[in-house]
């Protein structure tokens, strides 16, 4: 974990490197890009964990009672779609922050 944070901050230093320094607008754009990437990464990680748990629970339920396999599979797919929707919402917010940044005025 420490290595990942070190690499992250090293790349952040390169991203903010400039000859004349960064203006306020450039800093907002840079921080918005970093926030969008980190937020989307966290959302994707949480979604992947949630999908794994949902699939594991469905497989365990089908293994215990194969007769309800159809109902469990349908419910699992609905749950996975709802989990994925949260990640897509984060992607939309990240794209808004990157391309139509409301913080720039």
Q: How do residues 35-62 score in pLDDT, each as one tens digit? A: 898 999 999 999 999 999 999 999 999 9
47-105: CATH number:
1.20.20.10
**Does the pLDDT value for residue 83 go beyond 80?**
yes
Which band of pLDDT confidence, cut at 50, 70 and 90, is reported for residue 17? low
Q: Quick check: 91 and 97 in contact, CB under 8 A?
A: no
Measured CA to CA, the distance from residue 77 to residue 31 in angstroms comes to 36
Residues sharing a CB contact under 8 Å with residue 32, sequence separation 6 or more, in sequence order? 97, 98, 101, 103
SS3 content of the chain, % helix, strand, coil (to 5): 90, 0, 10
Which CA distances in Å does 32 have to 63, 90, 102?
A: 46, 13, 10
CA-based nearest residue to 57, from 41, 73, 45, 42: 73
Query: 8-12, 19-23, 70-74 — which one is most confidently predicted on average?
Result: 70-74
Domain residue ranges of the chain, discontinuous segments joined by +: 47-105
């Amino acid at each position: 974990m420490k290595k990942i944070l070190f690499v992250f901050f090293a790349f952040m230093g390169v991203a903010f490197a400039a000859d004349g320094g960064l203006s306020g607008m450039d800093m907002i754009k840079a921080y918005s890009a970093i926030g969008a990437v980190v937020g989307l990464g966290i959302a994707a990680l949480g979604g992947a964990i949630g999908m794994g748990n949902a699939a594991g629970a469905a497989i365990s339920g089908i293994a215990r009672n194969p007769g309800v396999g159809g109902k469990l599979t349908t419910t699992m797919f609905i749950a996975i779609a709802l989990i994925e929707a949260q990640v897509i919402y984060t992607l939309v917010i990240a794209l808004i922050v990157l391309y139509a940044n409301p913080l720039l005025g």
